[in-house]
Amino acid sequence: MHEKGLIHRDIKEENIFLHTPPGSGRVYIKIADFGLVKVQKRINESTLVSVAGTYPYLSPEFILGNEDEDAVIANSKIDVWSEGPIKGRL
């Protein structure tokens, strides 16, 4: 997803699914709900995005960096940050 320049912006338990094809013995992680996805113009560069997502999973730059503005500068790291609250709840 990030290699394709997509920032999901709403990674949370409800949007993560586990899939095990019969007989494969493997577990695949699937991410759903791409309604808030932001496409980066240049991969691995920050881009201007509107604040969106589910509060407990928002990165600090979304929460703290939006006191007076409607948008913040962000990159794919905001999705990676969401892993923390998810792992903490497991």
- Positions annotated as catalytic residues are 10
Residue 38, both tokens:
């932001």
Residue 65, both tokens:
């960096």
CB environment 6-39: b (16+ within 10 A), e (fewer): bbbbbbbeebeeeeeeeeeeeeeeeeeeeebebe
Q: Which residues contact 67 (CB under 8 A, 6 or more apart)?
A: none
